[in-house]
Structure 1
């Protein structure tokens, strides 16, 4: 098994790890920019006074209670063109301000933006690729024989982690409960059912716990590997700090 992979494989896996980590926090930053823009926008629209035309439209507005009937409604005119233009301009300004600004959401903030799918998926891929590379490393240094490697490398990601850290888990030197939670959240994105779409609202505090536990796990992998390359635990720490400094 070890003979099937050389330095190029490690290089490709390293590139993948770096890519997934970068993309995961890119999506999270976009999530928080959007949600901050929504906060700014809500303040702007509070200052937009409805026109007489708006009042007449609202008085005559009749919306179906059934969501399917609502989706099948050809057109809904609830505000005047004048007000719609003001709201569009306000939303544009809100997005510009949010992209350049910062905001304190608080750890209990629930994330509702659809881009959270990008963060959860890519962060999961980040962990999974690190684990895959470490298993290959263990095979190359003969800590895992070829038969065991072929079996464990295709197991569920949590089973792979348990295999790698079986001794440390017994001694309580490492925990993976938050990482288990991450993959539970990611499963909701993979199986994006109506119930999962409604339930997927992770809190910032939840994500922070996942990141911190992941950093500990990555540090333990790196300590054993001793690769002379980019330190992924440090890169993760940098990304965490950027989020905390701008959005905590």
Structure 2
């Protein structure tokens, strides 16, 4: 990659560095990321341990930053890169293999900025939806996204591509027991507001001041009863009768915007 003085250094740790602690993101081995935004964000994340980058020369040139001289890069054509990722994945000339991110614990989030909302996902398993929610969480300043370890997708290229770099920015907390996590949030002073289409209260009316945890369930099934019972209130988004429901990632974006807008 030609060195240019106007580009910032890509700060992430190269593949020669070993010993990164495994994460709780259901990824036991290396993670393979693709696409410019996902790869660039991972390269700029100082907490990432990178193993190897496969790239076209055009892909390298598109990066906002310089790779270290000894960074492990293997140049390949687009067709070869296509064999490294999911079928028809839009790799944009960049495929990065790296270690999973370290665990993020709920206590670390609770001890942070309580003015920022926490998003809690109940059995949202589609990686595209989780990635899109991470992207909205980054856009609207959420403190974290919380999922249950057994009922959420692992850290992956699909999540990262849908998140468009947000997987490196927003803490993703994986917990064993979602109900217990909601109890911990309540103990820390968060108002737990669950989104449910059958609720009588409208979201804007139920949204309180102060710390809030937004709780969303999977499309179709919605919130499980035990999770809903651990919410302080349930509310619905006021959508028209022409549509029965919204995609969970769209609902999360609307709810996060409403939380961000309440202080303006």
Shorter-normalised TM-score: what interval? under 0.3
Of Structure 1 and Structure 2, the greater strand share is in 2
Q: Which has the higher contact order (CA 8 A, sep 6+)?
A: 1
TM-score (norm 2): 0.22
Q: TM-score, normalised by structure 1?
A: 0.24
